[in-house]
Amino acid sequence: MNQHFTNLIIDVENSYHSDAIIVTFFKENCTNGFIVMGAHKSSPFSRIFRKSLAYTFIKEIKVPIFIAHN
């Protein structure tokens, strides 16, 4: 990726609150862009404990989102 994008920064968040950090970043910094992400189906049981990040993006971030479903 760095060969095509000279100012690319990749930041991996390993935190319990990483979803909130990512949402806050996009709310503050991404007014003219879009989000591309992958998603997979989760069971209803697992959704009790953790909501999908894709669902959070759709509800809270007002930019176009492309989700490739696996």
* pLDDT number for residue 11: 67
The answer to whether 37 touches 56, Cβ cutoff 8 Å, is no
The pLDDT of residue 1 is above 60: no
Using the predicted structure, report yes or no on whether residue 19 has a pLDDT greater than 60: yes
Ordered DSSP codes for 1-67: -TTT-TT-------STTHHHHHHHHHHHH-SS--EEEEE----HHHHHH---HHHHHHHH--S-EEE
Tokens 């930041």 appear where?
Answer: 11
Domain residue extents for the chain? 18-69
Contacts of 42 by beta carbon, 8 Å cutoff, 6+ apart: 52
pLDDT at 14: 64
What does pTM read for this prediction?
A: 0.55
